[in-house]
Structure 1
Amino acid sequence: MVDEARLRALIPTVIGILGRRGAGFAAAEDAVQEALVEAVRVWPEDPPRDPQGWLVTVAWRRYLDAVRADTSRRRREERVDDEPAPGPAPDVDDTLQLYFLCAHPSLSPASAVALTLRAVGGLTTRQIAQAYLVPEATMAQRISRAKRTLSGVRFSDPGDLATVLHVLYLVFNEGYSGDVDLAAEAIRLTRQLAARTDDEEVAGLLALMLLHSARRPARTRPDGSLVPLAEQDRSLWDTGLIAEGVDVLQAALRRDRLGGYQAQAAIAALHADARTAEETDWVQIVEWYDELVRLTGNPVARLNRAVAVGEADGPRAGLAALAELDAALPRYTAVAAYLHERDGNRATAARLYADAARAADNLAERDHLTRQAARLNAGPRT
């Protein structure tokens, strides 16, 4: 039985070693993928004493085979045809540089996510395609285009940590579909990144993921329908993840270099700290949203702030805050429906819930909003 987690953890280092030996990123990544397939086939019967060295040797041979097969690269073949002697691979960790490469600014967010999951996460193209509910051929083309885009980028070029964090955040928000739990994968990769950097925002993102993931068992009913935060069974929340998330966040906040992910994690921590929905400290949550808006200017943060204001100061105050925002924002109509219901205007709320359901692109969210509209339409109208 192959330990897939251990195998996948070796991928960035092996790609980096091939890169330093002269392989381009695309060729190195292809060769390592072929070596992984061979490892899954061979290791159960003949496990290597040095797994990393084995992968390096096999991947390098696959790379040389590809070079030899390409007649247009004869000169390059002459430069790299001497295979290094077998033995322990150098202990150099290229994981962080590989993060930067896969989240290169020249890539679209979708391509950066796919490439990160494959090159850093070690997922197969099939697994990534299933997670994103697209045909495998479509995902293969996306990854291939991303690697072509990076063909002229040197492995040692500096990267942008903020872009890496954004990519990991996108992965986490995809959640779960197919046979790949992307939320868990995002947490694994962010832990890996946190171990290699000394950055408060990396810690903030990890804390945010842990705190959100802690509520996951209570987010859906057995039939798959969504359970709003206020109605969740908080005894189902994972207290271990909450405690870890709070510890990670507090350590980051003590360094007094606040960033957007830390602010979001602080809001999540306040929700996690409330034993019941009624005990939620909405006043402090509004204050953290004020910080988040100041830091990022993000319109979604402003939208969520309007909800918090509605809880802290009453629904009319929330509606006033909402009126300052662009009605075209995603979830704007759903928020308006919620605040109108809180204000006692059931007819308007029912109409807005129905409008929001029609605009929703997520089936579970669409069903939830439709149920809300039906619930209000079935009761007394005001």
Structure 2
Amino acid sequence: MSESNQNSLFSKATNWAAIAFLVYLVLVAVGTVSGGFKLASGGSAGAKEIFEFATNPFVALLLGALATALVQSSSTVTSVIVGLVAGGLPISIAIPMVMGANIGTTITNTLVSIGHIRSKEEFQRAFAASTVHDFFNLLAVAIFLPLEIMFGMLQKLAESLSHLFVGDADLSLKSYNFIKPLVKPAVNVIKDAVSFLDGKAIGIAMVVIGIALILFAVTTLGKLLKKALVGTAKELLHSAIGRGPVAGITSGAAVTIMVQSSSTTTSLMIPLAGSGVFNTRQIYPFTLGANIGTTITALLAATSISGAAAEVALTIALVHVMFNIFAVALIYGIPTLRELPLIMAEKLAKIGANNKPAALGYVLGSFFIVPGLIMMAVR
């Protein structure tokens, strides 16, 4: 074997070893957030008091959207939410937060589309392809959040499924959960490192460290996976988008699971749309698949939770999965609803192409200014 081949194999092995370590780090980080939240809040009663300002589902929705827009990663935010739910955050508050994360994650590909702003035609195509994701997620929330508030259907179904998978947490997880023994030593190291603090400050420090670790791990993991799988992902992207909606949705989910970032997946499509290789209607199903694929991170995070909290952590992760699957099935399955995001995206893109400051205003206003102002006003 030549020296260059050996170096290539070594580089690939090192890259995959780093990926495995970062997956472990995500599990440790979520466990740290969960443990820290319990210490800081004094259990479920304290958690309810801390999140009292977000008892309004609308505020929780905005909180999820704003947090995701700020860190540009729904994977990060949903992983944090899983940890917080395990620490006592009510599921009724966490569900709108998860829905908000779906809205906030669309900012990344919208920002990518602004890279085409020098060319009016390219920008219009790219902006339409990016904002169709925005409008789909907004429509999904407009339909499912009121239904959830009135009937709690996602929570009830997720609770039934999580109980089916977990069963009696005290019995099954002690016997079969192999995640806790893997992550507990690392979580204890972090806890010991901040033990010089007093009382609840230890828990707060653990939450901050856990969130920072999640942000670092998810961001770096996405970069390494893109490096490891970029060839496969690109080939899949080019070969699948034009084959119809089922292939597009499936491929979008598959690529997103590989790179663990819907932002990465959807951003890959924008240059293709801007250059005219694919139109918004062709890219639309692939975007919906990315919505489904990104739920893998929350499910992964839920595996790091053990004990009685495991079932509620899995519940919110399953809510994320079902919300995206049901939204795709309902909205894309009904022709009238299917067309709404396309019509709205194309109209907004036309306005943005003719008035570029309006496009920039849409990005800043929709994802940062308006949610921030509304949250402050409601609070």
**What is the TM-score when the length of structure 1 is the normalising length?**
0.29
Q: Which structure has the greater CA radius of gyration?
A: 1
Name whichever structure is richer in helix by fraction.
Answer: 2
Higher relative contact order (CA 8 A, sep 6+): 2
**What is the TM-score when the length of structure 2 is the normalising length?**
0.29
